[in-house]
Amino acid sequence: MSLLASGLTAAGWTLPSRATAGASTLTTVLLTVAMAGMGLSVNVRSLRQALRPIAVLLIVSALLSGLTLVTLL
């Protein structure tokens, strides 16, 4: 479900299932196009210089995911 559909549902508005399915499909397509655009413009050689920031990003992401899991349980 898209962010718009989630917000409208949380506000108490009901949406037809065709509308939420369409919004979900549109969201998936737009996200795929955006990720492909970012991936096509990446210089692979420059990623070698970014290994340390990528490692920090992965560690922090794992820690936040673990903290969120513990908080929800």
- Tell me: do 30 and 53 sit in the same domain: no
Contact 20, 1 (CB under 8 A): yes
Residue bearing tokens 């939420």: 20
Q: What is the pLDDT along the chain (73 residues), one digit of tens a residue?
A: 566 667 777 777 777 778 777 877 888 888 898 888 888 887 777 777 878 888 898 999 999 999 988 888 7
User: According to the model, what pLDDT value does residue 3 have?
Assistant: 66
Same domain, 1 and 32: yes
What's CA 32's distance to the chain center, in Å?
10
13 and 34 housed in the same domain: yes
Please check whether residues 37 and 63 belong to one and the same domain.
no
Structural domain total, the chain = 2
Using a pLDDT cut of 90, give the percent of the chain over it: 14
Domain extent for 34: 1-42
Statement to judge: residues 38 and 62 lie in one domain: no
